[in-house]
């Protein structure tokens, strides 16, 4: 797509870094947006792989911004709080999904301000315990962008999940019935189809499996609120419910959230600094 630009929600990890590489093969410029907020630390870690991207593709092919989203995150998390608490209960603890939605809201505003019509992220099917990386929620987010004339894509979604078993064990994936056996069988057949392996083949990483390692933690922001999400999901919800129910109830929760913020974004586009959402941007 000569002469065109794309926005990429960029953490600096293997998924978003490979997404950046793939987008650089289609677009003249990739605008990397890394977001920060209270509870999300070390956003500057993403700079290490930005340097690698520029070294490989050229200094002018990428721009990088670190954008605060404290206000947007609070609005996404606590908007109509008691109504959502009564209707969806502990799904309000889905911090990771709410954080990613806040990032998408801010990215959409960025695209409107800059006149950019393409946006991507590093969503990957291997990380489908996170609501924002499940097909249903992704489709909702894509529809949200489309209402503003913006195309949303997931360049690395079909790559396999992390190969490191310790990475999975740390997040208690073995607590989900049959997931461990299915995971091992899939990895045996597709172990060279991960984002980490592809980056290793490209000379962008020193190892083909850095996901979940100390190096990985040093490449992207760290979120300690993830502990809350992890505790709720693995020690409270999944021991008493299956994945189908988790996805179904999560889809219902995020559909309402996304519809609500689509309406607020439309108001923002129409009223600008006079809109309700403008007060949460911090700009």
Q: Which residues of the chain have pLDDT under 70?
A: 1-3, 162-191, 212, 283
Answer whether residue 61 is part of any domain.
yes
Answer whether residue 217 is part of any domain.
yes
How many domains does the chain fold into?
Answer: 1
Q: CA-to-CA distance for 235 and 51, rounded, in angstroms?
A: 39
Give the chain's mean pLDDT: 87
Report pLDDT for 2. Answer: 43
Q: CA-to-CA distance for 144 and 161, rounded, in angstroms?
A: 26
Answer whether residue 281 is part of any domain.
no
Report pLDDT for 181. Answer: 57
Answer whether residue 148 is part of any domain.
yes
Report pLDDT for 142. Answer: 98
Report pLDDT for 169. Answer: 41
Query: Is the overall model pTM greater than 0.85, yes or no?
Result: yes
| CATH number of the CATH domain containing 88 | 3.40.50.620
- In whole angstroms, what separates CA 111 from the centre of its chain? 17
Structural domain range at position 31: 5-274
Report pLDDT for 266. Answer: 98
Answer whether residue 170 is part of any domain.
yes
Answer whether residue 283 is part of any domain.
no
Report pLDDT for 166. Answer: 40
Answer whether residue 117 is part of any domain.
yes
Answer whether residue 66 is part of any domain.
yes
């Amino acid at each position: 797509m000569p002469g065109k630009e794309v926005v990429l929600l960029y953490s600096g990890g293997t998924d978003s870094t490979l997404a950046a590489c793939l987008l650089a093969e289609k677009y003249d410029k990739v605008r990397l947006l890394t977001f920060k907020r209270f509870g999300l630390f070390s956003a500057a870690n993403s700079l290490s792989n930005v340097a690698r991207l520029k070294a490989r593709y050229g200094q002018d092919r990428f721009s990088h911004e670190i954008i605060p989203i404290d206000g947007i995150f609070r609005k996404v998390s606590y908007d109509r709080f008691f109504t959502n608490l009564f209707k969806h209960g502990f799904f309000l603890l889905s911090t990771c999904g709410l954080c990613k939605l806040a990032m998408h809201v801010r990215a959409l505003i960025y695209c409107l301000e800059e006149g950019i019509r393409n946006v991507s992220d590093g969503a990957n099917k291997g990380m489908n315990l996170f609501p924002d990386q499940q097909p249903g929620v992704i489709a909702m987010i894509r529809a949200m962008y489309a209402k503003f004339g913006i195309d949303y894509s997931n360049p690395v979604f079909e790559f396999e999940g992390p190969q490191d078993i310790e990475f999975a064990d740390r997040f208690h994936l073995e607590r989900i019935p049959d997931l461990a056996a299915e995971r091992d069988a899939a990895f045996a057949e597709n172990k060279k189809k991960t984002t980490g392996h592809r980056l290793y083949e490209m000379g962008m990483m020193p190892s083909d499996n850095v996901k979940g390692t100390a190096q990985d933690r040093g490449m992207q922001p760290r979120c300690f609120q993830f502990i809350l999400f992890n505790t709720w999901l693995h020690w409270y919800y999944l021991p008493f419910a299956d994945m189908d129910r988790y996805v179904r109830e999560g889809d219902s929760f995020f559909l309402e959230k996304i519809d609500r913020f689509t309406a607020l974004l439309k108001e923002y586009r129409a009223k600008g600094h006079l809109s309700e959402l403008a007060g949460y941007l911090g700009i």
